[in-house]
Amino acid sequence: MKKDIKKFLLIDNGQPFNLNTPYTDPLGGSETSILLLSKGLSDLGHSVIILTPNTVNVPEQKGNRLLHNINAMPSIIPEADFIIFNRNSLNEELYRSNKRLFCYCHDAYDQQHILSWMLEPKLVDRVEKFLCVSKWQKNTFHKYMKIPNEKMVVVGNSLDESLYYGYTERNLNKLMFAGIPYKGVEALKDLFEDICIRSKLDNLELHIFSSMGLYGSDDKEYEKQFSQLKKTKGVVLRSLESMKALAKELASSSLYIHPSTYHESFGMLTIQAQAAGCLPVLVNNGANTEVVINGETGFIVDGKTIWNSKCYNNFVNTVVALLNKDKNELYKHRLKAQTWAKQWSYIKVTQKIIKLLL
């Protein structure tokens, strides 16, 4: 590696965080990915400055990582060799800088903060490469935003595999859902009740970790759904957890059920579930087929929407079949899932990104 390539500026204009946040408190997948990239760059000997909308306790220093307020961008840009930005429009400071710019976007093509600038050819031209988290995201960016294929490369998303080391006793009757409410909460009550009826098991549990509070909003829009779930036998509504605590919950669960009611640009929780040996059951939506080997590391049912009756029934029947499957066969699937997920280790993803930049 060239000695003069050593200072990275990472910009994330999403939710505020500090350098410990994903290990101590809940944090969205996009922000977590930026922090894991900073950790990877730091572990590989680089100097990293991260800019976020934090208003307190900044700047924060940990080793060769510095966390600073995003308002400090104009004064920090000159220090950087590379700039990687996410959830931040390509503003005047970035556009007029003489730095190499890379957009590491984690969101789907229909998000407003993407549409606000990616439809501008002049701004797109200024970006050297778009680092995409999946082929699905890359293809949709090309289709809907007309971003040239040669300006995009798929690097994936990251996980800290050290969180999945060690032994945790697994409850074979524990199912789990985690994620923002609009990704499946509305379907969970009916799905779980039908799973219980068709499996003829009366001791199943469904642990739900979901709230708009992850992004600073309330759950008023989903009040009815959460109220119904709270009254449903076997359903346990849980508080949002840190990445570290969630890893333990996944390791103690048998299946990760995700109706995928919104297209996943990657599916970080699906990767985390596999890393924990918690087999995901998903709808064929977004990038799901890229992050799961269907029938081996997880199970993807036919159909792109859970609201289709055939897709719905396939989903329920798949979960029921897995609940009744031989434990040794399930164990083989769990081992495959854990091995498969290792390719998204934050060090491996960071090395891939560095290779592209050099």
Give pLDDT, residue 214: 85
Residue 1 has pLDDT above 50, yes or no: no
Provide the sign of the torsion angle of the four alpha carbons 173, 179, 185, 187, taken in this order.
negative
355 falls within a domain? no
Phi–psi pair at 274, nearest 5 degrees: -65, -40
Residues 99 and 191 in one domain: no
* Strands, sheet with 47-52, edge to edge from the N-terminal-most edge strand: 60-62, 65-69, 47-52, 7-12, 82-86, 100-104, 129-132, 152-154
**More confident of the two residues 5 and 9:** 9
pLDDT digits (tens, 9 = 90+) for 117-172: 999 999 999 999 999 999 999 999 999 999 999 999 999 999 999 999 999 999 99
Provide the sign of the torsion angle of the four alpha carbons 209, 213, 219, 221, taken in this order.
negative
pLDDT digits (tens, 9 = 90+) for 323-340: 999 999 999 999 999 999
Mark which of 155, 181, 205 sits at the end of a domain.
155
Give pLDDT, residue 137: 97
User: Which DSSP helix (H) or strand (E) runs through 256?
Assistant: strand 253-258
Residues 293 and 321 in one domain: yes
Residues 170 and 111 in one domain: no
Residues 76 and 18 in one domain: yes
Mark which of 134, 155, 176 sits at the end of a domain.
155
Residues 41 and 93 in one domain: yes
Residues 293 and 259 in one domain: yes
CATH number (domain holding residue 41): 3.40.50.2000
Q: Which structural domain, as residue segments, surrounds residue 296?
A: 161-343
Residues 145 and 174 in one domain: no
Nearest to 42 by CA among 24, 59, 66, 17: 66
Residues 196 and 293 in one domain: yes
Rounded mean pLDDT, 306-333: 97
Give pLDDT, residue 6: 81
Bridge partner list, 283: 301
Give pLDDT, residue 228: 97
Residues 35 and 87 in one domain: yes
Mark which of 155, 188, 205 sits at the end of a domain.
155
202 falls within a domain? yes
- The total number of structural domains in the chain stands at 2
Instruction: Round the average pLDDT of the chain to a whole number and report it.
Output: 94
